Amino acid sequence: MRNLVISQAMLEKLADKHSVDRREVEQCFENISGPLLVDNREEHRTDPQTLWFLSKTNKNRLLKVAYIQRGQQVYLKTCYEPNEDEIQIYSSHLKRRI
């Protein structure tokens, strides 16, 4: 993904804390099949809004991806295995689409 921007510090954090690499993040964007959600939590509000989604890598690993988009550029905020609450929230939005 050419327009995906991940700082070196973020790449290191993803690797060290979450065992996630750039290619897994790219695969999540390539494999997305659900809605984009807005992170409305006060401590996470940004301008432009932080968007997030759950998606699987090519090896079937479920990850949460959070990012900000400015024009064509996509700035990764984080990517990690979601907790049960995040899975539940995302699943509830999937059911609304059906």
Q: What is the pTM of this model?
A: 0.92
What pLDDT sits at residue 41? 78
Total number of domains in the chain: 1
What pLDDT sits at residue 54? 98
What pLDDT sits at residue 10? 97
Q: What percent of the chain has pLDDT over 70?
A: 96
Mean pLDDT of 23-47: 90
Dist. CA 52–CA 87, nearest whole Å: 12
Residue 11 has pLDDT above 60, yes or no: yes
Mean pLDDT of 69-94: 95
Question: Cα–chain-centroid distance for residue 44?
Answer: 14
Structural domain harbouring 11:
4-97
User: Where is average pLDDT lowest: 1-5, 28-32, 37-41?
Assistant: 37-41
Mean pLDDT of 63-78: 97
Dist. CA 41–CA 30, nearest whole Å: 26
